Structure 1
Amino acid sequence: MNNLIRAEGYKLLRNRTFWLLLLVLAAAAVVNVLLARFDDPNDGGAIDALSGIDAWTSSLAANPYIIKIGFGILAGFFLSSEYANGTMKRSVSAGFPRSRIIAAKLTVFSLGAMGAALVYPLVNLVLGSLVLGFGELPGGSEAEYIVRTLGMTLLVAAAFAAVTGWFAILLNDSGKTIGFSFVFFFFIDGVILMASKYAPALETVYDYSILRVILDLANESVSRGDLLVDIAICLLTWVAFVGLGIVVFRRKEIK
């Protein structure tokens, strides 16, 4: 298993889409901070980040879009593409157990996704603190807030990566994976909330899903109980969808 994980890690680090995604996110963060530095809100400017901690908070609010878009693209070019180029068939033909093959791929994909999810907020925080000053949170601990939101960003990213990875295993095609991920993640919230008017139980399901957790990432005040629930939701989602990925892959015909 360790050899499979190392092999998948090597492939991820050589994946151009992964590095392009990181570069785009870092560049976007730099632009965001520079706009905050030079765009005066008193003169009609639209940027209101006045410090590094403000840039961190605003970047967390933008991160759901990064996760929903970026992970679909990465899954398409890192996981689904291996069906087309024959890598998946060669791995199975080499005699490795299917469950270990896909578990290694999903684990490495999740780790890569977690790293990607941190790029935009961290660059905003570091560069924003250097350019704008660190700043402070009214009535709260900045260090505690950063540690909590950073940890939750990692957990949410892992959970979304597992779901997106499952889509990639099901669909086998880069274009289908990217397209379906976009449509699903951007419309599922509205569909569930509309359907909950007729089936109220769906609202409870939504409240205990990563779809709700990701929207609360930037909250400055979270009780310990709610935090533990959110952590459990993310961990259980990751375990469940990695398990589903293993089940699907073991039964799938590899051409």
Structure 2
Amino acid sequence: MDNLLKSELFKLKKDRSFRKLTLALMIIAALFPLIASINGTEQLSVNEIFLTIIGRNNYVLKLIPCLLAGYFIASEYSLGTMKSIVSSGNSRTRIYISKLMVFSFGAIIFSVILPIGMTGTGAILSQFNDMPDLKYFAQIIIFTMLYAAAFASIMMALATVFTDSGKTIGLLILIFLLFDGVMFMLASKITLFEYIYNYSVFKLSYDIININALESIEVFKLAIVPIVTYVIFGLVGVFVFLKKEIK
């Protein structure tokens, strides 16, 4: 298992899509506060920058890893790399779990670049003016990482089904863009869908920013749902991978 993890981490490090996406997010994280400080008439508020990006970080959580899923996961099927990995003697369960762990790690890195990068850059440019509460900042980052991993488990399970990189990217982006709207429409008409949506990572990810205002039971739900989602879709992915004919 250790060798599999090291191998996947090495591939992630060398993956051009991962490196380019990471670099792009880092550039955005540096430029946004810089432009705001140049154009603004008042001193930058680091807390405002942090709250602004957390409110919009859902797009990074749900969409950017879709690109990595296509290039890092699905492309291995079309290129024949997966066949070589499977024939190496390692069990399919271990192969899938190691890939899921590394892919989740990549998704987590994407998810925290903007919050941490923009906050850090804003703090330097504003000389630490109006910093966010440290406890709140830490909670937001931890929950962001949890939800990034949960979304990654869903993406990888679907990437295992689709296998083609182009198809995977297109369908994943379509699914993650439309899911909220479709579920909201169904939830307004059917109680079961309302219950499913209210307890889904898609809905709860929007509540991360309001964690200070949530009661203990709501915070527990906010924490347990992504963990359960990660486990469930991890098992679903393993099952699909075990049954899949790899050419």
Identity %: 34
For residues 179-198 of structure 1, the aligned pairs below 5 Å read 179-198=170-189
Query: Cα distance, 1:216 vs. partner?
Result: 1.7
For residues 106-117 of structure 1, the aligned pairs below 5 Å read 106-117=100-111
Query: Cα distance, 1:217 vs. partner?
Result: 2.2
* Number of residue pairs the alignment of both structures matches: 246
**Deviation per residue, 1:6-60 (Å, 9 max, x gap):** 1111110111110111111011112211121022368xxxxxx932222111111
For residues 92-111 of structure 1, the aligned pairs below 5 Å read 92-111=86-105
1:111 aligned counterpart, secondary structure: helix
Distance 1:134 1:223, change over 3 A: farther
**Deviation per residue, 1:162-195 (Å, 9 max, x gap):** 1111111010011111111111111111111111
Find the aligned partners of 2:11 and 2:152 in 1 and give their Cα distance.
Answer: 17
For residues 80-99 of structure 1, the aligned pairs below 5 Å read 80-99=74-93
Contact 2:61 2:147 in 1 (8 A): no
In the alignment, is residue 147 of structure 1 matched against residue 138 of structure 2?
yes
In the alignment, is residue 71 of structure 1 matched against residue 79 of structure 2?
no
TM-score normalised according to structure 1 size:
0.92
TM-score normalised according to structure 2 size:
0.95
Tell me the equivalent position of 1:8.
Answer: 8
Residue 132 of structure 1, aligned match among 126, 131, 135: 126
2:57 aligned counterpart, secondary structure: helix
Query: Cα distance, 1:223 vs. partner?
Result: 2.5
Tell me the equivalent position of 1:236.
Answer: 228
Tell me the equivalent position of 1:202.
Answer: 193
Tell me the equivalent position of 2:156.
Answer: 165
Find the aligned partners of 1:41 and 1:15 in 2 and give their Cα distance.
Answer: 42
2:240 aligned counterpart, secondary structure: helix
**Gaps in structure 2 of 5+ consecutive residues:** none
**Deviation per residue, 1:204-253 (Å, 9 max, x gap):** 21111100121122224232221111110010001111111100000000
**Gaps in structure 1 of 5+ consecutive residues:** 43-48
Find the aligned partners of 1:88 and 1:148 in 2 and give their Cα distance.
Answer: 37
Contact 2:74 2:159 in 1 (8 A): yes
Runs of 4+ that moved beyond 6 A: none
Letter matched to residue 147 of structure 1: A
**Alpha carbon RMSD of aligned pairs, Å?**
1.6
